[in-house]
Amino acid sequence: MSLGTVAVVGGGVIGQSVAWRAATAGHRVSLVDPAPGSGASRVAGGMLAPLSEAWPGEEDLLDLGRAALAHWPRFAARLTAATGGDPGLRTEGTVLVGLDSADRAELDRLAEHLAGLGHAPEKLTGRQVRALEPGIGPEVRSGLLLAEDLSVDNRAVLAELAEAGRRAGVEAVAGRAVAVRGNRIRLADGSTVDADVVVLACGAWSAGLHPSLHAVRPVKGEVLRLRARPSALPPPQRTVRALVQGRPSYLVPRAGGGLVLGATQYEAGHDTEVTVAGVRDLLRDAERVLPGIAEYALVECAAGLRPGTPDNLPLIGWLEPGLVVATGHHRNGFLLAPITAEAVLALLDDRPPPAPVLAADPHRLALTREPLSGVSR
Amino acid sequence: MSLGTVAVVGGGVIGQSVAWRAATAGHRVSLVDPAPGSGASRVAGGMLAPLSEAWPGEEDLLDLGRAALAHWPRFAARLTAATGGDPGLRTEGTVLVGLDSADRAELDRLAEHLAGLGHAPEKLTGRQVRALEPGIGPEVRSGLLLAEDLSVDNRAVLAELAEAGRRAGVEAVAGRAVAVRGNRIRLADGSTVDADVVVLACGAWSAGLHPSLHAVRPVKGEVLRLRARPSALPPPQRTVRALVQGRPSYLVPRAGGGLVLGATQYEAGHDTEVTVAGVRDLLRDAERVLPGIAEYALVECAAGLRPGTPDNLPLIGWLEPGLVVATGHHRNGFLLAPITAEAVLALLDDRPPPAPVLAADPHRLALTREPLSGVSR
């Protein structure tokens, strides 16, 4: 079966997931990116954590995230079947912890919110937290166990997606897109790429490519990569998300003693430099949660630009004839990649996407329906 | 004029300086190193600071260091003449600063010691320190101005030395030495390199190459490289060396807004991993000295292994027939490279080396004269 041609712009986890799935469904797919897998997806922590990030008023996002999480086991199995590799899906769950009483109150609010939605998490004392994860330090006084929230190894997923895409016949186009209109992509060298359908998946760079996407803004996140040295305590089994006197922090374990550490977010434009203050704060807060990391090797400091939207929901759907968008996934690119790929496949086939994706209709934002004239970008 | 053949083992700043100078003097020189310029010399801060590190009982080292510093301007000019490049010699001097009263007492002891040797430094109040270097923070209460202590850009020096060596005809041998006996080098692949004279300049790896060098031990130093962002205060003009409640810290400016930050030392074997605790401590202490670095980019974290000796003096001289050693330079590799190269040139020509180098005679250590039997390496 040969269907139409699809050109995906952007080789992050969203673009690569869409390209691979579309190619296996019979489309002729090209992927336009000068350096696939080198942007925010490479820096990401890889948390699949819809419950941990649930927030009153964002029920649509929670529904989308939970539906997305349910897609992951099959997506991971398909990847492994396609490549023989392992995307590093960890099923040990997530423990949220807090230090002071205000942190505990914040965890209690989250627990109450989730209980109202039918997902009551287990509340833990500091002692119970340490019984689960012995490396957690004495300053931690409270916790919640969220067995549903998982993680993947973001770099393993990117490597598997690249390999799976190659095997499925995805054609790599190493150009940098500078504009997308309908089903035509203009590249920096002045050439164009045309396809039956273009899928725009450029994350934090989307606003510069199409005027209706100007509400997508870059949100900088600094992430450190550590590795347990032979003399140090091993990393936790679960993802540990902490409130350290109000400041969020996360520590995501990897196979082989790796630990990914993040939290800082800045609205700072297209700036991917890591700052002294960012690293200092990340290390300080993380050491209060897991004191043993003092003896870990600091392997890498990096920053990525997540694509934020005004309501924190992504933009997934037809933007105009010939153009599907799949962007604005903010901190949830890995979580949402499988369901986004399924949704885009459905749109390409004139089928309805999974119901929770409807809330991500790109036309929901008034500004994208009627772009302000003269908006500067 | 064609003199004999010289094989230099080790492509750090010492080995490359020796190789270049020997080649320009007419020797046929080969430089044996699988990756020249990639070890401790690449990580170094590049301070040329004999006075700042003066210590009672180490007058020989101070004499050697001051003589070495006097060689630098001509060495730098020769390098520039050879390559057209710039090794980044900065002549703005060094300011030592202290925070608490114990730090001030330590600075006073150094000032008194130097005064007794005829180099009385200028004592400064915190206010005077900030008048010299406005970026220095309010916690700094005292200081010393050491106009004689300078710095070079270590990576620029390595690049210029590599280029100058190529132009002078130094032959690169990309093998890894595993043993040196007399004028024969054995490589990891089982082959040997012979020369009229071998110069062993393997820094922290020296002990493994010759049994008489077993007292040379690796001393780990962690070094961060920062860069001022456009919005941040510029780096200081001078090298800033600080005592932060007893902990030493140094901040060495580079052209273009760079700042090299170091201090930590560990006796940790051949371990070049950077640890969370090391980075945390470096940043914490440095921010107390120069608060504006919080907004600097953190560009690189690395660790190098300096070659320590029991008396902190290097080993420069004939070890046995056919074998000159030039190692054990500890924290002073860049400072001592020009005078070490001159000393080795003199030895190759049967001339006496510069007088202050005599204290670095490798036979001064009893253990190198009579190696203990059964010492394990």
Q: Do A287 and B297 touch (CB under 8 A)?
A: no
- State the Cα–Cα distance between residues A55 and A106, nearest whole angstrom: 11
Residue A2 has pLDDT above 60, yes or no: no
Who among B226, B274, B277 is closest to A276 (CB)? B226
Q: Do B276 and A283 touch (CB under 8 A)?
A: yes
**Helices B59-83, B154-168: inter-axial angle, 10-degree rounding:** 60
DSSP assignments along B5-29, one per residue: EEEEE--SHHHHHHHHHHHHTT-EE
Residue A241 has pLDDT above 90, yes or no: yes
CATH class of segment(s) B94-147+218-308: alpha beta
Minimal Cα distance from B259: which residue of A? A276
The Cα-based distances of A215 to A14, A179, A212, A275, A322 in angstroms read 19, 16, 8, 26, 21
- State the Cα–Cα distance between residues A238 and B233, nearest whole angstrom: 41
Residue A40 has pLDDT above 60, yes or no: yes
Residue B280 in contact with partner chain A when CB distance is under 8 A: yes
Chain A neighbors of B289, CB-CB under 8 A: none
Structural domain boundaries in chain B: 5-76+154-215+310-365, 94-147+218-308
Tokens of B284: 């914490």
For testing the chain B interface, which of A276, A279, A287, A290 should be mutated: the one with the most B CBs within 10 Å? Answer: A276
> Model pTM?
0.89
pLDDT at B129: 98
- Helix/strand/coil for B135: coil
Task: Name residues 199-258 of chain A within 8 A of B (Cβ).
Answer: 226, 229
Tokens of B238: 């001078």
Band (B120; pLDDT cuts 50, 70, 90): confident
Q: Tell me how close the Cα of A227 comes to any Cα of chain B, in angstroms.
A: 9
Q: What is the pLDDT of residues A153-207, one digit of tens each?
A: 999 999 999 999 999 999 999 999 999 999 999 999 999 999 999 999 999 999 9
Residue A374 has pLDDT above 50, yes or no: no
CB B186 within 8 A of CB B42: no
Please, where are the H alpha helices in chain B?
13-24, 40-43, 59-83, 101-116, 126-132, 154-168, 276-289, 333-348, 366-369
Q: Do A298 and B283 touch (CB under 8 A)?
A: no
Candidates 3.50.50.60, 3.90.1150.10, 3.40.50.970, 3.40.50.720; CATH matching B5-76+154-215+310-365: 3.50.50.60
**Residues in CB range of A329: below 8 A, 6 or more apart:** A14, A203, A306, A307, A314, A336, A337, A340
Q: Do B275 and A296 touch (CB under 8 A)?
A: yes
Q: What is the mean pLDDT of residues A42-57?
A: 93
Please, where are the H alpha helices in chain A?
13-24, 40-43, 59-83, 101-116, 126-132, 154-168, 276-289, 333-348, 366-369
pLDDT at A263: 83
Q: Tell me how close the Cα of A294 comes to any Cα of chain B, in angstroms.
A: 5
Q: Tell me how close the Cα of B282 comes to any Cα of chain A, in angstroms.
A: 10
Who among A284, A294, A298 is closest to B274 (CB)? A298
- State the Cα–Cα distance between residues A292 and B316, nearest whole angstrom: 42
Neighbouring-strand partners of residue A200 = A9, A325
**Residues in CB range of A51: below 8 A, 6 or more apart:** A62, A65, A66, A94, A114, A119, A121, A146, A148, A149
Phi, psi dihedrals of residue A3, rounded to the nearest 5°: -95, -160
Residue B1 in contact with partner chain A when CB distance is under 8 A: no
Who among B226, B275, B295 is closest to A298 (CB)? B275
Band (B369; pLDDT cuts 50, 70, 90): very low
- Helix/strand/coil for A96: strand
Tokens of B326: 């030039």
Residue B297 in contact with partner chain A when CB distance is under 8 A: yes
Q: Do B298 and A284 touch (CB under 8 A)?
A: no
The Cα-based distances of A258 to A159, A224, A254, A331 in angstroms read 17, 11, 5, 20
- State the Cα–Cα distance between residues B10 and B192, nearest whole angstrom: 15
Band (A272; pLDDT cuts 50, 70, 90): confident
**Hey, CA dihedral for B48, B50, B54, B60, is it positive or negative?**
positive
Residue B294 in contact with partner chain A when CB distance is under 8 A: yes
Q: What is the pLDDT of residues B38-54, one digit of tens each?
A: 999 999 999 999 999 88
Total beta-carbon pairs less than 8 A apart between chain A and chain B: 62
Burial of B63 (C-beta count, 10 Å sphere; 0-12/13-18/19+) = middle
Minimal Cα distance from A227: which residue of B? B275
Residue A297 in contact with partner chain B when CB distance is under 8 A: yes
- State the Cα–Cα distance between residues B322 and A129, nearest whole angstrom: 65
Q: Do B275 and A283 touch (CB under 8 A)?
A: no
Query: pLDDT averaged over chain A?
Result: 94
- State the Cα–Cα distance between residues A29 and A211, nearest whole angstrom: 25
Residue A81 in contact with partner chain B when CB distance is under 8 A: no
User: Which ipTM value was assigned to this complex?
Assistant: 0.87
Q: What is the 3-state secondary structure (H, E, C) of B319-371?
A: EECCEEEEECCHHHHHHHHHHHHHHHHHHHCCCCCCHHHHHHCHHHCHHHHCC
- State the Cα–Cα distance between residues B261 and B278, nearest whole angstrom: 12
- State the Cα–Cα distance between residues A154 and A87, nearest whole angstrom: 8
Minimal Cα distance from B286: which residue of A? A276
